[in-house]
């Protein structure tokens, strides 16, 4: 059910893109001033927010959800029902149409997960179960990995080349895993299913990294300092998501306690950043600046429009910016969507 809900949420971005495409041609790209807040919020946030369901269940609500989605869409209740997931935090599609799922195994994010400085207990062990599962369109498992690597999974993006981009909010880090290493892992997984070939002989002949024998992949890029939250050029604070352009440049939404978007080049060097916190705990949601975020939670790119979309979760809106320079484009907001977890 968690997976079906996440996929359903993704459909809402299709409506937004239609409006954006019609509007973007005539929009004047004026440079905005991007103010940075050097402090980061120590308030505790989690993924468990019941407010949207309370709103939709309210008798006073005039919003109807009965005709929101296409009635011709058939949800297959038995799809991948034999696979056990923990809290699912990320879903992405690879270039072959397979579905990647990032989940937390036996770990649960609750109010005791972080202290009041946004630090995770370093005495906790990494999640022992495989946290990344790749399924084909029929829901059959193709690959799983990630055991003993992550502490609190959040974002998963598989780019157009098959590279995996991952955020871990406990580690306060962003990881890139190369497509070629994922392919090696797939080969090993297939090999284990063949009884007529010895695995060690195959590995020796193909000179695979010995770490792959234990389903452990080496990231080709790591950004952020492990377990250390911060607001500077080297540290994140609970980064949430990654969006990747075709030239290798990428964006990171940072995050639960920093209210900013950072653009990097393919080498992991900062190009620009923008966004700032809400000042104070009480504010007017009807007069929010386009540059004020409250948990920038998810990102999506519409490359043909040169637009980056942001789910500004606690402000209950989706914002779009020009991907080249971070200039504000448009705000999208509707009560039926509620708090924006994903775009």
Task: DSSP for 14-45, please give it.
Answer: HHHHHHHHHHHTT---PPPP----S-------
Give me the pLDDT at residue 113, please. 95
Report whether CATH 2.120.10.30 matches the domain 1-19+77-261+269-278+287-337. Answer: yes
- The answer to whether 277 is a known ligand-binding residue is no
What gap in Å lies between CA 264 and CA 247, rounded to an integer?
A: 11
| H or E stretch at 104 | none
What gap in Å lies between CA 205 and CA 201, rounded to an integer?
A: 6
What is the pairing mode between strands 328-332 and 164-168?
A: unpaired
Give me the pLDDT at residue 66, please. 52
What gap in Å lies between CA 104 and CA 168, rounded to an integer?
A: 10
Give me the pLDDT at residue 232, please. 95
Give me the pLDDT at residue 203, please. 46
Contact 185, 149 (CB under 8 A): no
Closest C-alpha among 281, 294, 299, 163 to residue 243: 299
- The answer to whether 256 is a known ligand-binding residue is yes
Give me the pLDDT at residue 81, please. 87
Run means of pLDDT, 10 residues per run, the chain, 343 residues: 46 46 42 38 46 46 55 82 94 97 96 95 94 94 94 98 98 97 82 53 47 68 97 96 98 95 98 84 64 95 96 93 97 75 66
Give me the pLDDT at residue 75, please. 80
Residue written as token pair 């911060």: 230
Contact 98, 135 (CB under 8 A): yes
- The answer to whether 161 is a known ligand-binding residue is no
What gap in Å lies between CA 49 and CA 109, rounded to an integer?
A: 12
Give me the pLDDT at residue 208, please. 44
CB burial of 215-242 (b: ≥16 within 10 Å; e: otherwise) equals bebebebebbeeeebbbeeebbbbbbbb
Cis omega (within 30 of 0) for bond into 208:
no
Contacts by 178-183, CB closer than 8 A, 24 or more apart: 178/220, 181/209, 181/212, 181/217, 181/218, 181/220, 182/143, 182/217
What gap in Å lies between CA 292 and CA 149, rounded to an integer?
A: 33
CA distances from 141 to 95, 102, 129, 150, 237 (A): 16, 13, 15, 21, 33
- The answer to whether 313 is a known ligand-binding residue is yes
- The answer to whether 154 is a known ligand-binding residue is yes
- The answer to whether 91 is a known ligand-binding residue is yes
- The answer to whether 276 is a known ligand-binding residue is no
Contact 189, 142 (CB under 8 A): yes
């Amino acid at each position: 059910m968690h997976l079906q809900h996440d996929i359903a949420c993704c459909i809402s971005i299709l409506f937004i893109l239609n409006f954006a495409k019609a509007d973007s041609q005539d929009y004047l790209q004026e440079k905005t001033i991007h103010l940075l807040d050097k402090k980061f919020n120590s308030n505790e946030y989690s993924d468990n927010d019941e407010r949207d369901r309370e709103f939709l269940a309210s008798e006073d609500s005039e919003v109807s959800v009965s005709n929101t989605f296409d009635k011709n869409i058939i949800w297959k209740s038995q799809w991948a029902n034999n696979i056990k997931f923990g809290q699912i935090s990320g879903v992405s599609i690879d270039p072959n149409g397979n579905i990647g799922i990032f989940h937390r195994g036996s770990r649960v994010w609750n109010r005791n997960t972080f202290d009041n400085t946004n630090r995770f207990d370093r005495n906790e062990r990494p999640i022992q179960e495989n946290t990344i599962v790749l399924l084909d369109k029929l829901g059959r498992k193709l690959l799983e990995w990630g055991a003993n690597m992550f502490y609190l999974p959040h974002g998963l993006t598989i780019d157009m080349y098959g590279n995996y981009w991952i955020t871990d909010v406990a580690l306060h880090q962003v990881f890139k895993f190369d497509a070629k290493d994922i392919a090696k892992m797939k080969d090993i997984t297939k090999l284990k299913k063949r009884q007529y070939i010895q695995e060690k002989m195959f590995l020796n002949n193909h000179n695979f990294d010995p770490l792959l024998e234990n389903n452990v992949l080496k990231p080709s890029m790591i950004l952020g300092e492990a377990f250390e939250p911060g607001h500077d050029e080297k540290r994140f604070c609970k980064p949430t998501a990654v969006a990747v352009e075709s030239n290798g440049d990428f964006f990171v939404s940072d995050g639960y306690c920093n209210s900013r978007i950072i653009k990097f080049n393919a080498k992991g060097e900062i190009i620009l950043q923008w966004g700032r916190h809400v000042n104070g705990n009480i504010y007017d949601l009807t007069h929010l600046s386009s540059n004020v975020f409250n948990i920038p939670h998810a990102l999506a790119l519409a490359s043909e429009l040169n637009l980056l979309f942001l789910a500004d979760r606690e402000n209950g809106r989706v914002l779009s910016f020009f991907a080249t320079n971070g200039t504000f484009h448009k705000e999208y907001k509707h009560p039926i969507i509620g708090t924006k977890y994903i775009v």
